[in-house]
Structures are given as C-alpha cells and as structure tokens.
Amino acid sequence: MFGFGWPTEAVLFLMLLNLVAYFAQKFTGDYGGFTQTYWLEPSQVVHHRKHWQLVTHLFLHDPRDLSHLLFNMVALWMFGPAVQDRMGAFQFMLYYLFTGIGAALLTIAMGYWRDRSLMNVPPSLGASGAIYGLLIAYAVMFPDANMFFLFPPVPINARVAAVVVGLVAIFAEVYRARSLQASRTHLSTVSSRVNHLAHLGGLLFGLIYLTGRLWLGY
C-alpha cells in the first residue's frame, strides 16, 4: 500500500510530463522565457489574465535544484498509485489538478489580501500543492498505514503524518510572514523561498474535495 511499485498510468503520465517540462526549462536557460511564461506569477494571473499559470506551474520545478523535482516525483510515486486505485484514473487527475490549482488560488488570495498590486508576491512553481493534496487523500483513505519520516527517522501512521506536515506548514508560513513584515522586504527568487501557503492549500482543497466526494457518495 505504501512504497514503490510500478506507477499507475496517471502517475506515470504526470511524472513524464514533469520530466519533459524540466528539460524544457534547462534547454531554454533555466529561468528564461519558458519558465517565466508558465510559472505562477500572481500579479500576472490577476492583472494580466495569464490564467494558464494556475495549471502550468504545477509541472515546472526549480531548474537549478534537481532535488525539488526529485522530492516531488518520489512523493507522487509513493502516494499516487494507492490513491488512484481508490479513485480511478480520471477522478485522480481531476483531484490532482483541483488541489494544485486550489493551492495556487490560496497563494494568490493571501498575497492580494496583503498587497493588491501583488508586486511583492514572488513567483512560485512546483507540484507541491498537488503532492500535499495526495498526502491528505492517502491519510484519509489509509489512516493507519505505516509511513517513515526521514527527518526525524521515525515510523508514523499516515493520519498523524498529515497532521504533522500540516502543522509544520502553518508554523512555517506564520514565521515567514512575520519575518517579512518585520524586515519589510520580500524574497524575489523562487529558489530561495518555500511556498508554505501552497502546501496548506493542497491540504485544504484536498479536504474540501474529499468531503464533497463523501457527501455525494462516490
């Protein structure tokens, strides 16, 4: 149930799409035109109607940090097949996009609340919002499944793991927000910033989707 087997068709498709996008980023100059066209830049989404970025940023990763891509793909491989087996391929893809887009919308909404110009909200990219959505789905579907944290290296069940990563994301975002407010600066590069709001958004929209799925009885 938890671990590495052969990836299911939807998981394999997502992994290949992420790899293709990563190589496209590398071949076009890391943070060149390709990346800047398809990453999530909140001011461009809201004020210049680049709505495609809500989806496309999910398939881009930091081109100068391979671990960003690898970590998300490993997590996709670990959680994705079991979740897809429960949902089916089509609903799995809908869920993946729903949580990823939801994470982006939360990032934009909080940025707009702080500064309507959104000019101080740096771009972000990566599958993390959707990956956190998969984590919460896995925890709901297999709450007593055993997992293993690398940091610290302790065994833990899926339900507790989801609570832990949620709390970590909340505290990290509160700390980041207070630090930025105190310094009156913002981080302007993707590589220097973890989008904890995207993590929270993935968890939140995952719960919304799963609750609706339960309520509708499918």
Q: Of 56 and 182, which is predicted with more confidence?
A: 56
Does 120 map to a domain? yes
How confident is the model at residue 11, as a pLDDT?
A: 98
Strands (E), 47-154: 146-148
Task: Indicate whether 1 belongs to any domain.
Answer: no
Instruction: Look up the CATH number of the domain holding residue 26.
Output: 1.20.1540.10
Considering the domain boundaries, does residue 3 fall inside one? no
Is the model more confident about 21 or about 120? 21
Structural domain includes residue 4: no
Tell whether 115 is covered by a domain: yes
Tell me: pLDDT of 84 over 80. Answer: yes
Question: Which residue range is the domain that position 104 belongs to?
Answer: 9-216
Strand intervals (E) in the chain: 146-148, 155-157
- The amino acid at 152: P
145-196 pLDDT, tens digit each: 988 766 667 788 899 999 999 999 899 888 877 776 655 544 444 434 688 8
- What is the pTM (predicted TM-score) of this model? 0.89
Quote the number of domains for the chain: 1
pLDDT recorded at residue 215: 84
